[in-house]
Every structure is written in C-alpha cells, then in structure tokens.
Amino acid sequence: MTPSHSFAPALHLVHASSTISVVSIALATVLFFWVTGRIFYRRHNLPYPPGPPPKDFISGNARELSDSKLWFPMTEWAAIYGPIMHFRSFNKHMIVLNTVDDAIEIMEKRSNNYSDRPYIPMIDMIGWTFATGLKPYGPEWHAHRRFMQQTFKATASLQYRPIQTEKVNDMLYGLLETPEDFMAHIKTLSAAIIMSAMYGYKVAPKDDYFTELAEAGMAAISNASYPGAAVVNVLPILRYLPAWFPGAGFHRVAKIALDTVTRMQDVPYKYVQDNMAAGTASPSVVTGLIESCKTDAEHKLLKEVAATGYVAGADTTTATLSTFVIAMAMYPDVQKKAQDELDRVIGQDRLVNFDDENSLPYIQAICREVFRWRPVLPLGSFHAAVSEDIYRGYYIPAGTTIVANVWSMTRDPIKYKNPEEFIPDRYFAEENRLNSDDMNYTFGFGRRICPGRHLASATTWLGVATILSAFDIRPPKDASGNDIHLNVEYTGGLISHPVPFDCVITPRSDGMKQLIVELKNSSL
C-alpha cells in the first residue's frame, strides 16, 4: 500500500534515521577493531614512557589532549612523570620531550628517523600542506628546504638588512604619531619586511589586505593543528564522512579556511606577475626567480615557498615584539638598564644600526629572554617517527608524534632560576660577556628548525634596540594615577599571541623625535 502524501516526510525521516544508525554502528564496529588492533600491536616487549593513565580503553588520553593550551598541563605532568612522557589518543601515540637534551638526542642526533611530520587531517583539509614546515619528509620537502636555506641562511639574510632598517624606521614614526596603535605598527613592521623581501610589495600602514590575509591564514593553522582542535584530528577516518553527517561540521570549517589559504598563496604571486607584465615590479625573491620557472611544478614550488615565508615570518615576529613591549612595561628596571647601555654606546644623536650589535650585549640578552619568557610556539613543531625506535629503554612505534615541549624547557628551574620572571642577566657568564645559551632551540630542532630564524632574530634585535633607544614604555594608569599591573593573556593553538593590551609609549627626548621625523622625511 502506498503511503499518503502527508506521511511521506515522516517516513523519509524514519528511513534517514535508520540509515544514520546503521552507518554509526558500522563505523563504531570498524573503529573498535581498528583501535584495538593498533593498541596491542607491538614488536618489542618494552614499555612506553610513563604518562597520565588513559581515561578509558578506547580513547586513551584523547580528552587530556583536547586543551588548546596543552603546554600548561604537559609541563605539570612532566613534574610527575618525568622528562619523557607517553600519551595515546585512540590508536595514535605521542611522545613528549620536556628537556633540551632529549630533544637534541631524538630530533637532531637521530634526525634520519625523526624529520617527518605527523598526519593531521585538518592541516591537509585547510590546504596548509603547501607550507615547507608542514610537508611530509621526502623529495618535495627537500626541494622546499633547499630553496629556503639558500634564501634565508645566515649569509643570505644579510641582504635584507636595508629593508629591515627602512621598515623599522617606519615603525618608529608610527609609534611617534599614534603610539596607542603600537600593536598595529608592530604587525605592519613584521609583514612589511617579509612582503618586501618576497614580493617587492609595500605594506600599507594600517588595515593592509595582504597583512590581514596572512593573519587569517595563520589563525586557521593555529586553530586547526593541535590534537583536540577537531574530532577528525583524533579520528582521521571521520574525514570520509559526508559534510551533512552529525558531528562532521569540521568540513564546513575546513572549506572556509581553504579559501583563505588558497588566496594567501595566489594573490601575492599574481601581484608580482601583473607588475612584471606592466614593467613596474620591484626587486624581490619572487621577481628574481619567476621568469626561470618553466613548468607548473616550478611555479608551484616558488609560490608555496614564498607564501611560507610571507605568513610564518609576519606572524611569529609580531608575537615576539608584542611580548617585548609587555616585558618592558612590567619590568622598568630592565628597561632602564638597557637604555643606559644604549646611551653609553650610541648616545641620542643617531639611531641604532646592525653594526652596533656586538657592542650591546644587554640588548641581545633581552632578545634571548623574550624568546624564552613567552615562546611563540610553546610546543614547538611536531615531528613524527618514520620507523620504530628504542630510546632509553622505551619503545617508540613508527608514526609516533614527537613533541618538544618548549614551554617546559624554558621553565627548567635549574637552568633558569625564577623562570616566570623576566631576567636578561641570566644570559651573562660574567660581567658584559654573554653565555652560550642563545635560545636557538625555541626555533625548533634538527632538520625541521625554522629556516627563517636568522631573519627573525635580526628583525627582533633591531626592533628591540631602536624602540628602547627612542621610547619609554610604561603600563597604563588608573583614575588615581597609579600604574595598572599588566597580566596579559595569551592565545592557545599552535602559535601563542598576546591578546590586545594597553600601555603608554612616549619619546625619550625632543632630539629623538626630531631624528625620527627627519629619517621619515628623507625616505619620502
């Protein structure tokens, strides 16, 4: 008997509900046997490293790994379980290294086995596999890495110093004109250097489209790449669910992010192509190489490498210099000591330049402490084991995610007394002589260390030195005229930024104001 028209929608819902139930049961059954098999399969009768006990048999530690600021609980667990910890999320294993020595042993001395990247579905779904640092270990990554090394190695980075100096001077003028917009000026500086170097593009002082595009792209990867960012990261098999299926909302999120990430690569590259066609292109990395690209694969490589530098360089340097401003507002004695060094070595008749670096060890110590105090990547960048391994009597399965807990490393109370305090003096072996702790490990380990670290460090140094030479940084005051204690929150995710905060930035002298204005006028 054919159902009447009025009952057809209800019957459809019953059929749909039954279908969903059958699919759910089938998926759950497959998942159970898949996870169980992977949990118990082990070629060696050796233990995993210690770690928090799993919440349940199937999901393991998945719940603990869902925190967007995972470095905080992981550092607390390190005090309980030791320097090497093991976690399991369903069938996926994770090893967390809490000391620099272990990270060097695993990621550098055994780099042949630990230079891969773990598969994180959302990174793939939002298109961020274009980035050099997120590509699997293999020929394509090697081609990217070789290009990056040639472009940003220590000696090659010297060619960008005129750009860095020009853009830092622009930032100083912005701080002089509208000091309340200091975070926007810092963001512009970071983007302006890398955009000029990569594409020959001049960033607008505020609300620049390319800068906002990079920021949106970095937000997408930061919010998608930690273990608990989406259910599909925990259970990759869920990627194959249709977007309409209950719990598959990550498909919609990924689609929006993918559009941003695609534009982030294509738009600046087309900007160079259009300017070259018009004969108005400025010198840049892409301008110098684009005509040598003869195939689509070569264009793709250049486009991806350029976009990697563009978004990564702009975002991380912004976070670093913002942290510097916070530290100076909170620690006036540190600021005063740095300014005394600057006045003694440089004076107030000129601005600092790169030739002064070796004469200003305290400025260098401040930069190191900024990297340590609030690391931009508190959990580093994840590595993965290509093959199974044994380390210190512990078993590490193939495919295990390896995490360098940089936050824990920078909180080592033996190496860094009072680690939560901002103390640049900790980097001096003796008076006026820096020790060997250059904080390079905050840029990563082994073959996956950040290739742009030389450019980033140089920008940070010049920004710190010139701001301290030209300006005083103070916390805001309340209605009674008392300093407001700064307690700035930081974001979670892969990259940790300070949330917007207030401070007061004023020029140190009329002479310095005049110098900044003259430099600006001479550049017009």
Sequence ranges of the binding site for heme? 450
> Which residues fall in the annotated binding site?
450
Q: Give the Cα separation of 358 and 378 in Å (integer).
A: 29
Instruction: Give the strand pairing for 92-97 and 401-404.
Output: parallel
437 alpha carbon, distance to own chain's centre: 21
Q: Single out the residue of 34, 24, 29, 25 nearest to residue 92, CA to CA.
A: 34
Distance spanning both ends of the chain, measured CA to CA: 85
- Pair of tokens at residue 34: 């898949």
The answer to whether the beta carbons of residues 131 and 304 sit under 8 Å apart is: yes
Strand partners, 94: 87, 401
Q: Single out the residue of 375, 391, 378 nearest to residue 85, CA to CA.
A: 391
Reduced to 3 states (helix: H, G, I; strand: E, B; else coil), residue 474 is strand
User: How many other C-beta atoms are found inside a 10 Å radius of the C-beta of residue 123?
Assistant: 22
386 phi/psi in degrees, rounded to 5: -70, -45
Q: Give the Cα separation of 230 and 247 in Å (integer).
A: 10
The answer to whether the beta carbons of residues 360 and 465 sit under 8 Å apart is: yes
Q: Give the Cα separation of 48 and 25 in Å (integer).
A: 32
Q: Single out the residue of 202, 467, 210 nearest to residue 328, CA to CA.
A: 467
The answer to whether the beta carbons of residues 334 and 373 sit under 8 Å apart is: no
Reduced to 3 states (helix: H, G, I; strand: E, B; else coil), residue 88 is strand
- Pair of tokens at residue 237: 């098999």
Q: How many CA atoms lie within 13 A of 5 on its CB side?
A: 0
10 alpha carbon, distance to own chain's centre: 50
